[in-house]
């Protein structure tokens, strides 16, 4: 089928587009190549896609008035994988404007385009950060997600609610994917694998927040892609045709164990600099993936050691791009 992938030059966007192309789908990719982080890295990801048969790219800002409606008129996609967003929990505290524009205005413009040109399924990126102050672990989709502790998380929860309303009103099947700390080759330079790896190889201290008393449910990118594509192929059937689904590894890893695994992957010890908890952060994330198993027949299972070894191999060759 013809799939529109927004944010195709992003970390998850590139990997998902590659997977769709590999199975024979036609992919129309859009991205605004935002300078929030290395544009060289984004262009390198994009070059991988442009070398593939069945891929076409358009430089486009989803928040620009009329841009998405014109695109839908021209391309008529059958499904949409919406991964374009302004990411970053901490950055949302210091520069909120891109979060308003891309995550709220841009998502609203996408929903309006879908209202005029319905597709068989919209799958969009939400985030585990929507659970915020919810301390009832593991986090279940049926649990509290209405107490976000960062603007980024609030915009993602708003996306879920906007999608629910549009699905209810206009009948377009929609799935919001709550990703839990996706990592791997071609990852974002503002996320911990890249930040920590660069600090380790350059012999600089790693800033460890909450003095190391933290844990994360790490999801290897290939697992996240498998889950996403399976969900794309399985639109919700019952009205309102809207759902949210956790995508995580269901195995929280203590921060100290994560750093130790990265040290082994890189063959070098880390220097640690302990700091208090940062605003917007949470102590632990832990995904209940029963719904993912039921809907997609899949559960992420890549061990952290294996995933970090693959990341480290990529970092040695391509880390300079970030």
CATH, residue 174: 3.40.50.720
> Is residue 123 assigned to a domain?
yes
pLDDT tops 90 at residue 11:
yes
> Is residue 188 assigned to a domain?
no
Look-up of token digits 């997977």: 19
Torsion 83-189-247-94 (CA) sign: negative
Quick one: pLDDT at residue 270?
96
Percent of the chain with pLDDT over 90: 94
> Is residue 280 assigned to a domain?
no
The answer to whether 94 and 278 have CB atoms below 8 angstroms apart is: no
Average pLDDT over residues 270-280: 90
Angle at 114 between CA 242 and CA 148, to 5 degrees: 50
Angle at 183 between CA 160 and CA 50, to 5 degrees: 85
pLDDT tops 90 at residue 291:
yes
> Is residue 128 assigned to a domain?
yes
Kindly report, residue by residue over 204-232, the tens digit of the pLDDT. Answer: 999 999 888 999 999 999 999 999 999 99
The DSSP letter of residue 117 is S
Q: Which of the following is catalytic: 37, 99, 131, 152?
A: 152
37 is catalytic: no
Kindly report, residue by residue over 20-36, the tens digit of the pLDDT. Answer: 999 999 999 999 999 99
Which residues is 86 bridged to in the sheet?
none
| Calpha distance 219→286 (Å, rounded) | 11
Range of the domain at 16: 2-183+218-248+286-300
> Is residue 112 assigned to a domain?
yes
| Calpha distance 119→128 (Å, rounded) | 26
* Closest by CA position to 199, among listed 253, 116, 240, 259: 259
Average pLDDT over residues 292-315: 97
Instruction: Please count the structural domains in the chain.
Output: 1
| Calpha distance 267→4 (Å, rounded) | 40
Kindly report, residue by residue over 123-134, the tens digit of the pLDDT. Answer: 999 999 999 999
Both structure tokens of 90: 């901490």
Look-up of token digits 């486009």: 60
pLDDT tops 90 at residue 95:
yes
> Is residue 233 assigned to a domain?
yes
pTM of the complete model = 0.96
* Closest by CA position to 62, among listed 25, 29, 105: 105
């Amino acid at each position: 089928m013809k799939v529109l992938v927004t944010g195709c030059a992003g970390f998850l966007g590139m990997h998902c587009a590659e997977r769709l192309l590999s199975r024979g789908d036609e992919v129309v990719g859009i991205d605004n190549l935002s300078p929030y982080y290395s544009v060289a890295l984004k262009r390198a990801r994009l070059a991988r896609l442009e070398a593939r048969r069945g891929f076409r790219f358009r430089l486009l800002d989803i928040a620009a008035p009329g841009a998405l409606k014109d695109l839908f008129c021209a391309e008529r996609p059958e499904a949409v994988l919406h991964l374009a967003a302004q990411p970053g929990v901490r950055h949302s505290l210091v520069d909120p404007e891109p979060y308003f524009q891309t995550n709220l205005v841009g998502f609203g413009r996408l929903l309006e385009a879908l209202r005029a040109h319905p597709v068989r399924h919209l799958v969009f990126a939400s985030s585990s950060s929507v659970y915020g102050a919810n301390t009832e672990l593991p986090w279940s989709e049926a649990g509290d997600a209405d107490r976000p502790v960062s603007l980024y998380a609030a915009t993602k929860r708003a996306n879920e609610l906007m999608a629910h309303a549009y699905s209810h009103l206009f009948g377009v099947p929609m799935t919001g994917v709550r990703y839990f700390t996706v990592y791997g080759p071609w990852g974002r330079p503002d996320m911990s694998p890249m930040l920590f790896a660069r600090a380790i190889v350059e012999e600089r201290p790693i800033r460890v927040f909450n003095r190391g008393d933290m844990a994360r449910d790490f999801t290897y990118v290939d697992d996240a892609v498998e889950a996403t594509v399976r969900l794309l192929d399985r639109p919700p059937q019952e009205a309102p045709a809207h759902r949210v689904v956790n995508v995580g590894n269901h195995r929280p890893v203590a921060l100290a164990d994560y750093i130790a695994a990265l040290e082994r992957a890189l063959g070098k010890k880390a220097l640690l600099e302990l700091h208090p908890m940062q605003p917007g952060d949470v102590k632990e994330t832990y995904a209940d993936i029963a719904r993912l198993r039921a809907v997609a027949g899949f559960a992420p299972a890549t061990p952290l050691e294996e995933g970090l070894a693959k990341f480290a191999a990529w970092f040695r060759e391509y880390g300079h791009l970030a």
